[in-house]
Amino acid sequence: MIEGLYIITDEELHPGRTHLMIAEAAIAGGAGLIQIRDKHASDRDLYEAAMAVREACTRAGALLFVNDRVHIAAAVGADGVNIGQSDLPVAAVRTILGKNAVIGVSCDCLKQALQAEKDGADYIGYGPVFPTSTKLDAGPVSGLETLRKVCDSVNIPVVAIGGINADNIDQVAAAGAQCAAVISAIVCADDMKQATIELIRRYGTKRQA
C-alpha cells in the first residue's frame, strides 16, 4: 500500500497552482499517494480543498493523506494522516480515525523511527535526506547512510523525504526506502504530469533492479 511515489501538495511554492491542480496532475501521471499539506490555511479552507482532492483520489483509486490536522482527515474521510513529533500520539490519532487509518510519523533520527514503530505507526516519514527549502522546521540533513540504517532497522515502510528530485531519487530507492516523497520536484515543474511520470520511472526502475 505504502510504496512508490508520494506526492505532497503545496500551494505556496507555485502561486496559482491549487492543491487540486497539483493532485490531479500527479494522479494523471500515475501517482497513487497524495498528501495535502498547508500550514497556513484556515480549517474551513483546508477542509474544502481536501474534500476536492478526496473526490479526485477516490475517482482514481489513489490514497489521500492529510498533514498534521487529524480533525480534517477525519472530516473528509482521508485514508490516513502524517503527524509530527509534537502532534497527538499515534494511539490518540488511531482513536479518532479508526483502526483502518494509515498513520505516518515524521522522524529525523533512528531513535524516533524506532519509537514510532513501537507506538503503532504504519509508516515512517524520514528526513530530510537532502537539503530542502520546503519545510522550514525540518531538522539537519540526515543523508543516505542514515536513511539506509532506518530502513534496515524498522519493519514498517519508510517514506524518504527532503530534497528528492529526478537527479537523486534513484539513490533513495537504492537505500531501501519503500516510498519517495516529493514536493517541489512536482509542484514547481513546468509539466507536473510529465514530471510525475519521469520520477515514477526512475524510482521504479531502481526499486525493481
Q: How confident is the model at residue 209 (pLDDT cuts 50, 70, 90)?
A: very low
Q: What is the mean pLDDT of the chain?
A: 94
Q: Which is nearest to 69 in space by CA: 107, 100, 42, 34?
A: 42
How many H helices and E strands in the chain? 9, 8
Per-residue pLDDT tens over the stretch 70-80: 999 999 999 99
Residue 86 among the catalytic residues: no
Instruction: Write the secondary structure of 91-158 as one string of H (helix), E (strand) and C (coil).
Output: HHHHHHHCCCCEEEEEECCHHHHHHHHHHCCCEEEECCCCCCCCCCCCCCCCHHHHHHHHHHHCCCCE
Q: How far apart are CA 66 and CA 194, in angstroms?
A: 24
Q: Which amino acid belongs to residue 182?
A: V
What does the pLDDT read at residue 1?
76
Please identify which of the residues 17, 69, 135, 202 carries the catalytic annotation. Answer: 135
What are the structural domains of the chain? 4-103+159-208 (3.20.20.70)
Tell me if the pTM is above 0.75: yes
Of 54, 106, 142, 207, the active-site residue reads: 106
Average pLDDT of the residues in 64-93? 97
Q: Which residues contact 85 (CB under 8 A, 6 or more apart)?
A: 105, 106, 107, 112
| Owner of C-alpha cell 529525523 | 108
Neighbours of 140 (CB within 10 A): 9
170 or 137: which carries more pLDDT confidence?
Answer: 170
Q: Is 42 a catalytic residue?
A: no
135 a catalytic residue: yes
Q: What is the pLDDT of residue 141?
A: 86
- 169, pLDDT greater than 50: yes
Share of the chain above pLDDT 70, in %: 94
Question: Rounded to whole angstroms, how far apart are CA atoms 124 and 142?
Answer: 14
What pLDDT, in 10s, does the model give residues 24-56? 999 999 999 999 999 999 999 999 999 999 999
| Cα–Cα dist 18/97, whole Å | 26
Q: Per-residue pLDDT tens for 101-155? A: 999 999 999 999 999 999 999 999 999 999 887 655 556 788 899 999 999 999 9
